[in-house]
Amino acid sequence: MIGVIGTGTYLPAEIRDNRQVGAAAGVSAEWISERTGVIQRHAAAPDEAASDLAAAAVLAACEDAGIPPGRLDLLVLATSTPDELGPATACRVQALTGATRAVAFDVSAACSGWLFAAKVAHGWLASTPGARYAAVVGVEAYSKFVDPAHRGTAVLFADGAAATVLGPVPEPAGFHGFQLGSDGRGAHHVLIPAGGSRIPADAESLRRGLHHIHMDGRAVRDFIVETFPLLVDRALAEHGLDLKDIDAFITHQPNPLLLRTVAAGIGIPADRLHITGDRTGNIGAASAPYALADAAARGRLADGARVLVCVFGAGLTWGSALLTWSGAHSLTTAAAPDRASEPNGRNPR
């Protein structure tokens, strides 16, 4: 079986509370907390890119797993906020971490990205002779793509990274099935309109703020309210389980208040829904793996615990996976690596 054998996270040093964010967005701290449940979020430094955050999380996950980065066979990175449009940010992370033998590439599935990447890594490890270990990392540097004056996005989106190392685990531990889905008819609900081939960057796109995140909040809310219960129902039905059989529900963290409301509506006990978005904000592809690592660190995942992971994001995309926990107990964090200490001694940027 293939499961999670290590976790690692990285949150930038700067913390922005609701008072700071609200002042820029023209709302009160209370307005933010009452509507979202978010209390604070982290923001990357001006010289921190997504690859820096991701590399720190990968190194921490490798330390937790007891696997040197040089033994990784695969490095899959999920993000909506890459260092550049190309090359893959995963290649930057490979250089920063010294994962020299790892095949490195990106997966783009917005806030669902980590689970999509985990599915790719799981299949790759299962089908590639001699491959044993894969790092799967979700990372976002949303603060660099948010208009601070736009209350619909500035109060929610934040920066962070979380990584898992996948490897062999004894049965019954490991992943027991993925269900993934997409509906491109909703692609316009959350997007960064400019900077790609549809609207190339120019003075007009900058003037119109088209390089910031644009979101139809009502449409996204409706999508989550509909999708979260369906993911739970379908996963339970596939595995012949009931709500009471799940020890922890790990989800994307778009809005803690909304998550709690929807979960309560379908009968998920409050003590089994692990919420981290109140302290991190929406960190996109990093949200679910961060919640997984945090739950392990807080002793909420005993060996053999059944974990149901549910994600939903832009695209539209969604997914679920049943994971039997295999004993990656600690939440390991690390500072972003010093570029001067890269294996080849060169700054890749």
Tell me which residues are annotated as active site: 111, 252, 282
CB 82 within 8 A of CB 106: yes
The 10 Å CB-count burial string (b at 16+, else e) for 336-349 is bbebeebeeeeeee
Residue 288 DSSP one-character state = H
3-state secondary structure of 215: strand
Q: How far apart are CA 80 and CA 112, in angstroms?
A: 10
Name the packing angle between helices 89-97 and 50-65 (round to 10°): 50
Contacts of 98-101 with C-beta under 8 Å, sequence gap 24+, read 98/69, 98/70, 98/342, 98/343, 99/58, 99/69, 99/70, 99/72, 99/75, 99/135, 100/70, 100/343, 101/70, 101/71, 101/72, 101/73
